[in-house]
Amino acid sequence: MANLTSHIHCQNCSMAALCLPYQLDQEGMNRLDTIIQRHKPLHKRDVLVNAGAPLKYLYAVRSGSLKSYTIDDNGVEQIIDFHLPGDLVGFDALAEGQHRSYSQALETTMLCEVPIVSLDELVIEMPSLRKQMMRLMSSEIFSSKQLLGTLNNRSAHQRLAHFLVTLSDRFKARGLSSTSFRLTMTRADIGNYLGLSVETISRILSALQGEGVIDVQNKLVNIIEPARLRELAH
């Protein structure tokens, strides 16, 4: 039994509302808790899952962050997602029963590990858990399609502004500051994700700082004019 310390229980987890336990009653949470295991902490650059590996667990991010990426035919990394606390990692693996992307920690990261077989059983008996699974997957479908459209037809400035706004919103949903946060990914990661070069990312961050919209100190971002930034994202 891995759940010996209190801080690993869903009840006490500040991410519960974004994660699997959403709208579960006390008993439901307890049942979920019994199958959830703690994963050993990842260090920066540790790889959580490899593409092609059989799907054994779904992972929930407790703290820290990860990037998911594929390696294309030319051996080039292609980042498809950044995961923050409360996010689940592994949905893309459900179809084939094996992971289709790599997931790597961007910093020290704590995870909950949910065995797929146990989850499958629980899902049968708990309609609200099933509903939340569907909800999370459906959201992911919409947001990635939305993003696709959004990025496709937008300038570099708009893309980066959009990226920052989205991050800001996600931090807010997690009870963290929406105006002041750390970029745990590198400029190259952002560029890769947004389809822009490192140089462009750097230049635009400088430009946004010059305009007084944000303040950037290395990894630290301060959004000075959130409304203005949101406008720039359109």
The footprint of DNA (CB under 7 A) covers 44, 155-157, 186-188, 195-203, 205-206, 216, 218-219
Q: Tokens 């406008």 correspond to what residue?
A: 231
Strand order in the sheet with 47-49: 47-49, 102-105, 66-71, 77-83
Smallest gap from Cβ 89 to a second copy, in A, equals 12
CA 48 – CA 136 distance, rounded (Å): 21
Q: Counting contacts by CB under 8 A, is residue 74 touching a second copy?
A: yes
Q: Counting contacts by CB under 8 A, is residue 8 touching a second copy?
A: no
Binding mask 11-50 for a second copy (x = CB under 8 A): ----------------------------------------
Choose among a second copy, DNA, none what residue 80 binds, the Cβ cut-off being 5 to 8 Å by kind: a second copy
How many residues bind a second copy, per CB under 8 A?
A: 48
Please say which residue, 43 or 172, places its beta carbon nearer to DNA: 43
Q: Counting contacts by CB under 8 A, is residue 71 touching a second copy?
A: no
Provide the b/e sequence for 102-118 (b: ≥16 CB within 10 Å): bbbbbbebbbbbbebeb
Choose among DNA, a second copy, none what residue 70 binds, the Cβ cut-off being 5 to 8 Å by kind: a second copy
User: Interaction with a second copy in 85-114: which residues (CB under 8 A)?
Assistant: 91-96, 100-101
Helix axes 187-194, 156-173, angle to 10 degrees: 110
The HSE-up count of residue 222 (CA atoms within 13 Å, CB side) is: 6
Smallest gap from Cβ 29 to a second copy, in A, equals 21
Q: Where are the beta strands (DSSP E) in 84-191?
A: 88-89, 102-105, 109-115, 180-182
Choose among DNA, a second copy, none what residue 134 binds, the Cβ cut-off being 5 to 8 Å by kind: a second copy
CA 224 – CA 198 distance, rounded (Å): 23
- Contact residues: a second copy, CB under 8 A: 68-70, 72-74, 76, 78-81, 91-96, 100-101, 123-124, 127, 130, 133-142, 144-153, 192-195, 234
